[in-house]
Amino acid sequence: MNSFFERRYVIAGIFITLILVLLARLFYIQVVDDRYFLYAQNNVMRRIMQYPARGPILDRTGKIMVQNEPIYDIMVIPKQVKPFDTVEFCKLLGIDKEGFDKRFAKAKVYSPRLASVFEKQLSLQAYASFQERLSEFPGFYPQRRSVRIYPDSAAAQFLGYIGEATDAIIKRSNGYYSPGDYVGITGVEKSYETILRGQRGVQNLLYDSHNVAKGSYANGAYDTAAVAGERLVSSLDMRIQRLGETLMQNKVGSIVAIEPSSGEILCFVSSPTYDPNLLVGRERGNNAAKLYKDPYKPFFTRPIQAKYPPGSSFKPLSALIALQEGIITPQTTYLCPGRYLANNGKPKCTHVHGLVNLSSAIAESCNGYFAMVFEKLMNAHGAKNTESSFDSWRNNVNKFGFGVKLDVDIPSESRGNVPTSGFYDRYYQKGGWRSKTILSLAIGQGELEATPLQLANIEATIANHGFYYKPHLIKAIGDKAVIKKEYTLKNYVGINPQYFEPVIDGMQNVVDHGTAVGSKIPGIVMCGKTGTAQNPHGKNHSLFVAYAPRDNPKIAIAVVVENSGDGGTWAAPIASFIVEQYLRGSISKRPSGIYPEYYIEKNLLPDVIVKPADKAKLKADSLKKATADSLKKVKADSIKKSKLISAKNKPAKKVDGQLTAMLPKQTDDE
C-alpha cells in the first residue's frame, strides 16, 4: 500500500515537471526568443524601411551643388531562399557565381533570419530588368534608396562624401544606424549629417509564398512616412569655386576666400581634387582605392589640414602687434644694408632697401626691419626675460585665430602651430634661448605654421580693422537663415583700429608698386602681401594673401601653390583672377599681360618621391627595356630639337601689345 502511494507521487511529480518544462519552453518561445515570431512575420509581413532623400546642398546663389538619384539595394533573408536559377540571377545583377557565394555566405553569417544587403546600388535601369523576374527568386527583395549626384563635379572636399556606416558609427548611433545604411563620412555631409539625413519611415507589406507583395498590412495603419532631409544653402560661390579649381589643376595647393563682413567662405579649393561622382555607384570602392593610392592625396583637405610657414605674409600681423604694444610707431625707421647686422647678417634681404618706415617695409618686404621689430618685442621686459615677452607675443598672435582652431563647420581642422615657450625650454633648456634664437619667427618662418583658412581669416581681420567672424560654410538650413550663434559674433583681436591704416598702406603698395604689381587689377584697389614659404623637401611654396577693395571690402583671400617659387609669380596672379571674377563677374586684360589660360595650362605638380623598393623595381624594369628606351629617346630628342628650333623662330603671342607670358620672377625677402 505504501509502495502504491509512493509511486503515485513519483508519477505525479514527473507529470508536473513535464508540464512546467513545456510551459517554460512556451514562455521562452513566445516572450524571450523572437526568432519564431520573426520567422512567422517574414512569411506573411515584411517591414520595408523607407529611406528619405538626403537634403540637397545649394551654393549662395541657389545653384544645386548636390542632389539625389534613386537606386536599389537587393536584400536577402537567407532562411527564405529556395533553389532557383543562380546563373540567370547572376546575369541580371552583373556578378559571377563566386561573387554570389561570397555575398550569400556573408548574409548567413550576419543572420539567417534577418534581412541584409546582398547587392548594392543598382541603377534604375538595372533594377527594372531584375524586377520583372523578382518572383523567381524567393528570399530576395528590393530596398529603394537614394545616392548623391554632383552636377558640377566640383567642391569635393567641401561637400565630402557618404558611405556605409561602420561598426564604430553604428555603435555610436545607439541603434539608429544598421549595417548597409549610408552616412556622411567627410565634409559637410558629415558635420550636418543629422540635418541632411531626414527621418526614416516604415512600410509594412504582406507577401505570399511566391514572394509577391499583396498590399499593405492593416491598410497602412502601422506605416510611418519618411521625412526628407533639410536643404542646406552653402556660402560658396560656384563661379569662383569652378574658376579656382580650374586654375589649380595640375598643381598642389589651396585657395580660400572669405567675405569679411560675415565670415562666409566664398571659395574653398583643395588641389588636386577629384570628381565626387566617382564615389557613387557600384564602382565606388574601386575608385576610392585608386584615389587613396594617388601620391598627391586628393582626399587631403588642404584649406583646413595643410600647414605652411606663412613667410612674409606674417609681417603685417607682426607690425600690428608691435604698434599695439607701443614698440614702434608708423614713423619708426630702419636703415637696411641688405641684411640684419645685429644678428651676424641674418636674415638677409634680396637687396639693399635703404631707409624704410613701417609702410615701406611692408611694401618692400624688408626682413631686416621686421627682425628689428621682433627683437624689440622680445626684449621689451629686458633681454633676460625673453620667455614672458614671448608668451605675451604668442597670446596676441593666437587672438588672430593663428595657432588655434577656428571651428569651421567641417571636420578635421588643424590648429596650425605657434610654438610655446615650453617647446623652446625643452629644445634649448630653460633660460637657454633669447630673441636671436627664435628670430626666424619675425619673418614667418621657423616653427610657425598656418592653414590657408587661417591666412585668409587674418586678411579678413585686417579688412575689418580689428575683428573677424568665425569662417563658416553653411549660411542657411531649410528656408530659414539659421546658423550657429558663434558664427554671428565679432571676435576682436585686441588691436586699436587706427593702427591698421599704415599697415594697409603698405599692403596696397605691395600690389600697386611692389612684389605683386603684375597682378594689379585695373580699377580695383587690392591690398595684399606676397610670401615665400620655405620647403625643406624641394622648391619653395608660392603664397599670396589679400583683400579687396580697400574701402568696403567684399573678399579676403589666401592662395598657396606648392613647389612653385615666389609669391608674386604664381599665387598672386591666381588670387587676382579670383578676386576680379567675384567682384565684376569677368576678368579684364591686365597691363602686365597675364591671362588665366597660361596659369590654367601650366603643370606644376612636384615629382613623386619614390621609395627605395620602388626605385629597385624601376631600375630592373629599365634594364629589361634598355634597348627600346634608347631608341625612343633618340627619336624623342630629335622631335624635341625640331620643336625648339621652330619655337625659337616663332614670335611671342601678344594681347594689345603686351607679351602674354607668366610674370617675371617676383622675389620676396625671406
String of DSSP letters for 590-629: PTT---HHHHHH---PPPPPPPHHHHHHHHHHHHHTHHHH
User: How far apart, in whole angstroms, are the C-alpha atoms of residue 311 and residue 559?
Assistant: 13
Does position 34 have pLDDT exceeding 70, yes or no? Answer: no
- Please say whether the beta carbons of 108 and 139 come within 8 A: no
User: How far apart, in whole angstroms, are the C-alpha atoms of residue 116 and residue 459?
Assistant: 52
Helix-helix angle 452-463:500-512, to 10 degrees: 110
Flag the least confident range among 209-218, 288-297, 408-417, 608-617. 608-617
Q: At 181, is the secondary structure helix, strand, or coil?
A: coil
**CATH code that applies to domain 238-601:** 3.40.710.10
From the number of C-beta atoms within 10 Å of its C-beta (0-12, 13-18, 19+), residue 524 rates as middle
Tens of pLDDT, residue by residue over 488-529, are: 999 999 999 999 999 999 999 999 999 999 999 999 999 999
User: How far apart, in whole angstroms, are the C-alpha atoms of residue 519 and residue 567?
Assistant: 11
Class of domain 48-233: alpha beta
Q: Measure CA of the first residue to CA of the last residue in the chain; give whole Å.
A: 116
Tens of pLDDT, residue by residue over 68-89, are: 988 899 999 998 898 999 999 9
Tens of pLDDT, residue by residue over 137-167, are: 988 988 888 889 999 999 999 999 998 888 8
pLDDT-based confidence at 90, cuts 50/70/90? Answer: very high
Q: What is the mean pLDDT of the chain?
A: 86
From the number of C-beta atoms within 10 Å of its C-beta (0-12, 13-18, 19+), residue 362 rates as buried
User: How far apart, in whole angstroms, are the C-alpha atoms of residue 305 and residue 282?
Assistant: 30
216: which strand partners?
205
Say what the pLDDT of residue 659 is. 36
Say what the pLDDT of residue 340 is. 93
pLDDT-based confidence at 649, cuts 50/70/90? Answer: very low
Does position 283 have pLDDT exceeding 90, yes or no? Answer: no
Percent of the residues in the chain that have a pLDDT greater than 90, as a whole number: 60
What does 249-271 look like in DSSP terms, one character per residue?
TTS-EEEEEE-TTT-BEEEEEEE
pLDDT-based confidence at 642, cuts 50/70/90? Answer: very low
Residue spans of alpha helices (H) in 314-472: 315-324, 358-364, 367-378, 386-399, 421-428, 452-463
Q: Which amino acid is at 109?
A: V
Place of cell 588691436: 495
User: Cell triple for residue 498?
Assistant: 587706427
Paired sense of beta strands 45-50 and 467-469, if any: unpaired
Does position 620 have pLDDT exceeding 70, yes or no? Answer: no
Flag the least confident range among 7-16, 98-107, 196-205, 649-658. 649-658
Residue 552 gets the label, from left (phi > 0), alpha (psi -120 to 50) or beta, of left
Say what the pLDDT of residue 496 is. 97
Flag the least confident range among 226-240, 408-422, 424-438, 616-630. 616-630
Percent of the residues in the chain that have a pLDDT greater than 70, as a whole number: 86
Burial profile 189-219: b = 16 or more Cβ within 10 angstroms, e = fewer = bbbbbebbbbeeeebbbebeeebeeeeebee
Tell me the chain's radius of gyration from C-alpha atoms: 33
What does 474-534 look like in DSSP terms, one character per residue?
EEEETTB----GGGGSEEE-S--GGGHHHHHHHHHHHHHTSTTGGGPPTT---EEEEEEE-
